[in-house]
Structure formats: C-alpha cells, structure tokens
Amino acid sequence: MLSSRIEHKWIESFVRTFTICKIEPGATVAIVSESTSRQQNVQLAELALLRMNARPFHLVLPSPPQSIDVPVRSSGASDALTGQAAALAAMKASTMVVDLTIEGLLHSREAQEVLAAGSRILYVSNEHPEILERLGPDPALKNTVARSVDRLRQAKTMRISSPTGTDLSVNVVDARIGGGWGAVDAPGQLGHWPGGLVAAYPMGGAVNGTVVLSPGDINLTFKRYLETPVVLTIETDQIVSVEGDGLDAQLMRSYFAAWNDDNAYYTSHLGWGVNPTARWDSMTMYDRGDHNGVEQRAFAGNFLFSTGANKHANRYTLGHFDIPMKNCTVLLDDSLVVREGVLQPEFV
Ligand SMILES: [Fe+2]
C-alpha cells in the first residue's frame, strides 16, 4: 500500500513541473477536479502553486452519473464539464488549467474552447504521486516529441510488424498527429504528465492488416499484462475478428460486445512511446487503483495500438482499448522508427 500522506518531495515534484510550464508569481491557475478525483494530487497542485506565489483556485465538479452500465476507462474525454458554463468561463480566464479530472479533458469538447481563449491545459494523469515524481517532464523530451511529430506529419505510411505475426499498414496522409512531452509552456497548449507519446488519428479507411497481441503486451483498459495471444484482423479500420482461446481473448471479446456498438470495433489512435524513463515492467509494482497506465503508454519503443473513437474519422464511442505492444518494428515510409522494440537513435 502506497502512502496517501502529503510528502514534501511530492510538492517539490509538482513545483518542478509547474516551473517547466513557466508559471510565474501572480499567475491565476484553475485546479479542476471531480468529486472522485485523487485528493492527494489535488492538494499537491494547490500547495505547489502557493509555494510558487501563483494564485490557484479550485473548481470541483461532481463526477457525472454513468451514461452506460459498462465501466468506462481510458477515454481521455471527461464529461464532468458538460453544462458547466460558469466553470468553463473561469478556466478560460486562467493562465493555466491543471486538469485533475479522472479521464482528463484532452478529448473533451470544452478543451479546445479553453485553449482558444489563451489558456493552457496540463492533464495530471490519475497516478499515485510516486509515479509522477519518477516521471517528471524532461525538456529534452520536448525536442524528441516535436521531431517525431514532424516526421509523422511528413510520412505517408506507417507499417508495423512483429515476430509473432503482426503486419499492419496505416495510411497517415492527412492524419491528425499529436504528441505530449509532459508539460505545457505556452498559451494554447494541451499536454499530459507523464509525457512521451506520439500518436496519429488517421482519416477513415486507413488501417488494414493483422495485429497479434502477445504475452507481455498490455491491455491498459484492463490494466493487465497479456499472458495468451490474441489475433485481431483489421479491414478498412474495422476489427472483423478477435481470435484466441485464452483468457485475454475472452476478456477482449466480452468488453467489445458489452458496448453493443459497431463503432467500438474500429481502430483509434496509433503511435509509439519515446519516454526513456517510463518502464514496461512497473505496472507489476502498483495496485490497479494506484495508477492510470500512462507510463506504460509512454515507455520508449512500444507501439501503441488502440481501438475505439476516432473523431478525425467521424467515429464516436466510449469503448476504448489502449494496448502498448513490445518487440514491434515500426516504419515510417522507408525509415525505421522502432526495431524489434528498440527506438532508433534518430527518434530518441
Ligand atoms: Fe487511448
């Protein structure tokens, strides 16, 4: 059991992150949380901002009722702000929003409005502060992510293969490309802590092939290392079969079916992790409630496969799997990005 006490060192780690975000004395900062948010992080944000002589204030929104009787995980689209015009106005008037909602406001309708008003949003992932402490933003990662995003924007095709039979082709022309390095240091930016991810939301009809999930890959919706293979066949973005006899395939078929929604059976974002500090194995050390799995989405050299919503292709659903895969080879056109799970020097 990890400590739920406020530790001085964690205040320091929040100060370091907000300093990298260029928060100056006197800056007005909205700390946005839900009634069910991790209170430790809510308090740490306040204490760190006060230490920096900023002017924090709290917006605490009731966690919304379940819209469906299926547990929703890793959607990245909190709906806690829906209909909360007064809260939204306060966020737009702030220098920065520290987003401590459970799912995060990254893909929410309101985020773009807040950014357009000249604020910036840092989603502090729903992790135990020990994880945030280990994975503080590194300015060096900013360049890595920026270069990777540029390369992905220039590419036409991403191809992914693995020794166990993955062979996937993604047309990334006109894809929506994004990346996060762990901080936001200018107005209009949206980021997440921990950072170290690059991802593409392709246009519709861009993804074809086979994904073979293997032991050691991670289904982060379930927060579970796979122990048995699962074979996904993908035709024009659609997952047309989920094969496998083991428990992992059974769980995936069950959760897919629970949505009763064709859109759940499609690919979402595709990309790779670049964070050299993030660890593949660390999920073994935490209880499920202690972490949100961003570390495993970000570890350097993983291919991050996902299913569910892709607004860029006009597909909406709350059903979402984020699955970092080990040992994959990722090519952008003819350039090697990841070779058998190792990020190539040009992309470090
Ligand atoms: Fe995702």
Ligand 1 centre to CA of 324 (Å) is 10
Query: 297 in a domain, yes or no?
Result: yes
Do 117 and 94 sit in the same domain of this protein? yes
Ligand 1 centre to CA of 320 (Å) is 7
Do 208 and 331 sit in the same domain of this protein? yes
Query: 1 in a domain, yes or no?
Result: no
Ligand 1 centre to CA of 219 (Å) is 11
Ligand 1 centre to CA of 28 (Å) is 30
Q: Show which of 134, 167, 190 is a domain's final residue.
A: 134
Low-confidence residues of the chain: pLDDT under 70: 1
Ligand 1 centre to CA of 294 (Å) is 10
Ligand 1 centre to CA of 75 (Å) is 6
Do 124 and 25 sit in the same domain of this protein? yes
Do 71 and 152 sit in the same domain of this protein? no
For the stretch 235-254, pLDDT in tens is 999 999 999 999 999 999 99
Predicted local distance difference test score (pLDDT) of residue 77 = 81
For the stretch 194-203, pLDDT in tens is 999 999 999 9
CA 127/CA 80 separation, integer angstroms: 19
Predicted local distance difference test score (pLDDT) of residue 66 = 87
Q: Show which of 91, 118, 134 is a domain's final residue.
A: 134
Query: 3 in a domain, yes or no?
Result: no
Helix, strand, coil share of the chain (percent; to 5): 30, 30, 40
Tokens in use for 231? 């074979």
- Please name which of 99, 148, 103 lies closest in space to residue 124, comparing C-alpha atoms: 99
Instruction: With beta carbons less than 8 A apart as the criterion, state whether 59 and 87 touch.
Output: yes
Predicted local distance difference test score (pLDDT) of residue 1 = 65
User: Number of folded domains in the chain?
Assistant: 2
Ligand 1 centre to CA of 249 (Å) is 19
Do 342 and 193 sit in the same domain of this protein? yes
Ligand 1 centre to CA of 297 (Å) is 9
Do 230 and 165 sit in the same domain of this protein? yes
Predicted local distance difference test score (pLDDT) of residue 4 = 82
Do 188 and 298 sit in the same domain of this protein? yes
Ligand 1 centre to CA of 333 (Å) is 24
Do 101 and 206 sit in the same domain of this protein? no
Ligand 1 centre to CA of 220 (Å) is 9
CA 132/CA 96 separation, integer angstroms: 19
Instruction: With beta carbons less than 8 A apart as the criterion, state whether 35 and 60 touch.
Output: yes
Query: 99 in a domain, yes or no?
Result: yes
Ligand 1 centre to CA of 5 (Å) is 30
Do 115 and 145 sit in the same domain of this protein? no
Ligand 1 centre to CA of 304 (Å) is 9
Query: 335 in a domain, yes or no?
Result: yes
For the stretch 51-103, pLDDT in tens is 999 999 999 999 988 888 898 887 778 889 999 999 999 999 999 999 999 99
pTM of the model: 0.96
Query: 2 in a domain, yes or no?
Result: no
Ligand 1 centre to CA of 73 (Å) is 9
In which domain, by residue range, is 111 found?
8-134
Check which CATH number belongs to the domain holding 72 and give it.
3.40.50.2300
Do 182 and 321 sit in the same domain of this protein? yes
Do 124 and 172 sit in the same domain of this protein? no
Exposed e or buried b per residue across 68-92, where buried means at least 16 C-beta atoms within 10 angstroms of its C-beta:
eeeebbbbbbbbbbeebeebbebbb
- Residues, CB-to-ion distance under 5 Å, ligand 1: 306, 322
Query: 225 in a domain, yes or no?
Result: yes
Q: Show which of 109, 134, 159 is a domain's final residue.
A: 134
Predicted local distance difference test score (pLDDT) of residue 109 = 85
Ligand 1 centre to CA of 214 (Å) is 19
E strands within 35-150?
55-61, 96-100, 121-124
Read off φ and ψ for residue 159, nearest 5 degrees: -125, 135
Cβ neighbours of residue 24 under 8 Å, at least 6 residues apart? 54
Ligand 1 centre to CA of 31 (Å) is 23
Predicted local distance difference test score (pLDDT) of residue 216 = 98
Query: 101 in a domain, yes or no?
Result: yes
Do 130 and 143 sit in the same domain of this protein? no
Ligand 1 centre to CA of 154 (Å) is 23
